[in-house]
Chains A and B, each alone.
Chain A
Amino acid sequence: MISPAQPAASPQPLLSIRAITKSFGKLAVLRAISLHVDEGEFLTILGESGSGKTTLLRLIAGFERADSGEIWMAGERLDLLPPYRRRVNTVFQSYALFPHLTVRDNVAYGLRVRKVAANQVEKHVGEALAMVKMSTFAASKPAKISGGQQQRVALARALVNRPRLLLLDEPLSALDANLRRQMQLELKSLQREVGISFVFVTHDQEEAMVMSDRIALLRNGNLEQVATPREIYSRPATSYTAQFIGHTNLLRCRVEHGVARCNGLEFRTSAPDGPAVFSLRPEHIRTTAALNPSGETVRFRARVLTESFHGATDLLQVECADGLKLTVRVPSHSASPGQRDFEFSAADAIAVRDSEEKS
């Protein structure tokens, strides 16, 4: 399998979605979405509820038909095939295990309907159950096992078919926080182990950051940005992306002759003249002793309104003299209430496209 570390190096993507449009009645759910998934890649489709992420997944699986556009997989037109002819398997949000079949028969289902020889079925099912550590529950009915265990069975049931592509529709959303974190890591390592491409749908940005090779951020049926977690965090393309992925401060500025002005703050920028929005992450603002601006460092004085404890760091709400409110992340116990001086380097203020203005 191709290493998922360099997905862009793959000459031809495994799955390519070309200008897919889908409406339900008058409601446009997806607007000309184009996206590709590489061999062995873990791609997350991230978005709020109603963003169209589940619809996109259902289009790949074949449960919905697109109004226009095409989906190709491994050189074959995928969107014309019925779901049962696609080399794609799905892990459903509510697992959708067959209640009348045992765990073993659930996992064997895909192989049996394809008329795989009985001894082969037994072998593959045994391996799949061992892989998700569910061998001891083989004879149980789904109603008798916990949510986390059902999740594992659903995964085994899909993976035993050796799909080219595995689709996962918020598979962890029903689990409690601890189990969820554990499953995130397990799922990620499992994906590397089997080398199958995963398309993972979630509304949880942290989950997306932890697991993905690339994140496709969807908003109102449009792709906001597609990039690696690091890139999308450090170089958000739009103000929506900057706010959705992690915390940020949005600075609405006016740029004149290479200098951005936002209330009392002033810093040099390469952005063109006119109105501009900058994203400034809370951790890029530091407390400082000196107040004289020096080179590319912007300094300002602000009053600490509230502070909240977040383990290794504190999150401060601060207000400048001109009323500008900012969020600042500092090491724990490093700031006391009252007037403080802060600084950030101008390079950390990232110019982003204003999502509000876009129609």
Chain B
Amino acid sequence: MRSRIRIQLAIAAGAMALFWTASPASAHHAFAAEFDINRPIKLRGTVTKMDWINPHSWIHIDVKGPDGNVTNWMIEGGSPNVLLRLGFSKDALPAGSEIVMEGYQAKDGSNRGVGRVLTFADGRKLFLGSSAPGANGEPDK
């Protein structure tokens, strides 16, 4: 299944596993428990929706395999609050956007992953670099 949807499965360097010995005091949860360092993935897909929720945002994407079958993936990102403070709104990542996600798959093997780096199909980084016109909240009319 994973090969069908063209996930690039790389063998992680043994040393990298050392990163996951403890959960940091201030991140919401332990990466190691939820995601698998030995299952790096790279997905290209079309955004179906973004959940602007805490503690982590989740981006849903449809990924098409070489055989034409489409699989829906859920990708974890950071807390959305800072994006809101910088003036982003729920229109910042509309459905239909094409994005590329590099990250790691869930440990239980489901179609979930954490998006280490998320880019638009043209290579621009998602979210990063946009201006922040309404950082203090948009005036109502």
- Is B one of A's binding partners? no
